[in-house]
């Protein structure tokens, strides 16, 4: 497998106020991962192009794109925790452009899969609203581009950030061509993501929300993948798999309240990679969303890159093994404990009930 890891110093140019969790240190940590990525056979690719205004309008209204463009050159507060500096608009067009570049290159066969380590993140940005540190919805722009430019008919977006991907949900709410599956802590910011939010019109059934209580770890998150994400994805048969890869469900994360480890994220990557291999010729592209403990972020991204470049060969998704030894504590195999399955059961029943008219679970 050939894997692209998109990372660039340009993402250091978007700055939030002092003390803000979404900070340049996140990208600094991932820049320092580049030598390790090369070591494991990953191709490190720099920023190559910006999303055009027309491309941004695939997911956002023209008025909204113009409004964000008008922030160029100045500092603004767009909502209680979403800010811009003079360079932010330009950097945000690079972040969305990174995803478009990866879509093109994966479609052309240059890479099997790719990971875009970008900021600002995107999944909270709605068609006409900036929020939750997000300006443009990078994953939604990529999904819409795959539909419009590459004439795809079925794109799967899996969002494993600890927060609900309200922006992606809103943008594709009525669109059956994009199956949006979000796993997230609930109740939690931004407040949406109940399991009875399933889309509307022709898109009814194509929004899948898996709201989970805080405290869930690898076993419960993997149970969600095995019992909900995989069965629905296999029925949908995506031509491309996109991942909103946030790492704020990590046990060390200061914002999230979950207990996922690097090995857990590696196993989630295995799950989406196996879906991509079965239906999409292996085409999987991930965009960085959250993840605010920089050491945990770097170790988790590394673990995911290892799985992306190795392929899995199958059979070992239940016993992922991370390669990192962060803080001298190597992550060993993580058994999917029966207790985890049982604890996921309380979440599974209402999710299944909400979707039973649309998917076999
Ligand atoms: Zn998040």
Domain membership flag for residue 64: yes
Residue 264 sits at the vertex; the CA angle it makes with 205 and 278, to the nearest 5 degrees, is: 50
pLDDT digits (tens, 9 = 90+) for 278-318: 999 999 999 999 999 999 999 999 999 999 998 644 434 44
Ligand 1 centroid to 16 CA: how many Å? 16
Task: Please tell me the distance from the alpha carbon of residue 353 to that of residue 320, in angstroms, as a whole number.
Answer: 30
Q: Which residues contact 189 (CB under 8 A, 6 or more apart)?
A: 132, 163
pLDDT digits (tens, 9 = 90+) for 167-196: 999 999 999 999 999 999 999 999 999 999
Ligand 1 centroid to 110 CA: how many Å? 30
Task: Of 183, 208, 184, give the one whose Cα is nearest residue 195.
Answer: 208
Peptide bond into 190 cis (omega under 30): yes
Provide the CATH number for the domain around residue 282: 3.40.800.20
Containing 43, the helix (H) or strand (E) segment is strand 43-45
pLDDT digits (tens, 9 = 90+) for 242-268: 999 999 999 999 999 999 999 999 999
Mean pLDDT calculated for residue range 337-352: 82
Give the total number of structural domains in the chain: 1
Ligand 1 centroid to 248 CA: how many Å? 6
Domain membership flag for residue 138: yes
Contact predicate 282/326, CB 8 Å = no
Q: What is the pLDDT of residue 342?
A: 80
Ligand 1 centroid to 121 CA: how many Å? 9
Task: Of 111, 108, 160, 114, give the one whose Cα is nearest residue 285.
Answer: 114
Ligand 1 centroid to 313 CA: how many Å? 30
Q: Where are the beta strands (DSSP E) in 197-322?
A: 207-212, 240-245, 284-288
Peptide bond into 178 cis (omega under 30): no
- Our answer to whether residue 124 is catalytic in this structure is yes
Mean pLDDT calculated for residue range 37-64: 97
Q: What is the pLDDT of residue 332?
A: 46
Domain membership flag for residue 157: yes
Domain membership flag for residue 207: yes
At 81 the three-state DSSP class reads coil
Q: What is the pLDDT of residue 328?
A: 38
State how far the alpha carbon of 150 is from the alpha carbons of 24, 25, 145, in Å.
Answer: 33, 35, 7
Domain membership flag for residue 329: yes
Mean pLDDT calculated for residue range 15-31: 98
Domain membership flag for residue 361: no
Q: Which residues contact 244 (CB under 8 A, 6 or more apart)?
A: 122, 123, 139, 157, 158, 159, 160, 161, 165, 168, 182, 286, 287, 289
Ligand 1 centroid to 249 CA: how many Å? 8
Q: Which of 6, 123, 124, 250 is catalytic?
A: 124
The whole domain housing 344 covers: 3-355
Q: What is the pLDDT of residue 339?
A: 59
Domain membership flag for residue 316: yes
Ligand 1 centroid to 38 CA: how many Å? 27
Domain membership flag for residue 250: yes
DSSP string, 341-352: HHHHHHHHHHHH
Task: Please tell me the distance from the alpha carbon of residue 231 to that of residue 198, in angstroms, as a whole number.
Answer: 16
Ligand 1 centroid to 167 CA: how many Å? 12
Ligand 1 centroid to 246 CA: how many Å? 6
Contact predicate 27/293, CB 8 Å = no
């Amino acid at each position: 497998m050939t894997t692209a890891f998109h990372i660039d110093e340009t993402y250091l140019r978007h700055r939030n106020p002092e003390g803000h969790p979404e900070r340049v240190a996140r990208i600094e940590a991932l820049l320092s991962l580049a030598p390790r990525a090369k070591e494991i056979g990953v191709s490190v690719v720099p920023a190559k192009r910006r999303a055009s205004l027309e491309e941004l309008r695939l997911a956002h209204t023209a008025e909204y794109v113009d409004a964000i463009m008008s922030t160029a050159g100045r500092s603004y507060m767009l909502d209680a925790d979403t800010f811009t500096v003079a360079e932010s608009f330009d950097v945000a067009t690079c972040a969305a452009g990174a995803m478009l570049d990866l879509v093109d290159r994966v479609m052309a066969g240059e890479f099997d899969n790719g990971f875009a380590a970008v900021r600002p993140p995107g999944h909270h940005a709605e068609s006409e609203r900036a929020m939750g540190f997000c300006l443009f919805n990078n994953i939604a722009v990529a999904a819409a581009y795959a539909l419009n430019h590459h004439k795809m008919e079925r794109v799967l977006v899996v969002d494993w950030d600890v927060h609900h991907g309200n922006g992606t949900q809103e943008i594709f709410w009525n669109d059956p061509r994009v199956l949006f599956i979000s796993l997230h802590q609930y109740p939690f910011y931004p407040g949406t993501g109940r399991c009875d939010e399933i889309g509307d019109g022709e898109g009814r059934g194509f929004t899948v929300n898996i709201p989970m209580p805080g405290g869930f770890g690898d076993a419960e998150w993997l149970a969600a993948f095995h019992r909900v994400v995989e069965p629905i994805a296999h029925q949908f048969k995506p031509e491309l798999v996109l991942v909103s890869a946030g790492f704020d469900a990590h046990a060390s994360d200061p914002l999230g309240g979950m207990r996922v480890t690097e090995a857990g994220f590696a196993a989630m990557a295995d799950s989406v990679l196996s879906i991509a291999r079965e239906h999409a010729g292996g085409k999987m592209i991930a965009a960085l969303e959250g993840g605010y403990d920089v050491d945990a972020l770097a170790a988790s991204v590394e673990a995911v890159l290892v799985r992306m470049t190795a392929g899995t060969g199958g059979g070992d998704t239940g016993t992922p093994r991370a390669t990192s030894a962060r803080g001298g504590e190597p992550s060993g195999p993580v058994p999917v404990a029966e207790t985890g399955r049982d604890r996921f059961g309380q979440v599974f029943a209402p999710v299944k009930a909400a979707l039973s008219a649309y998917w076999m679970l």
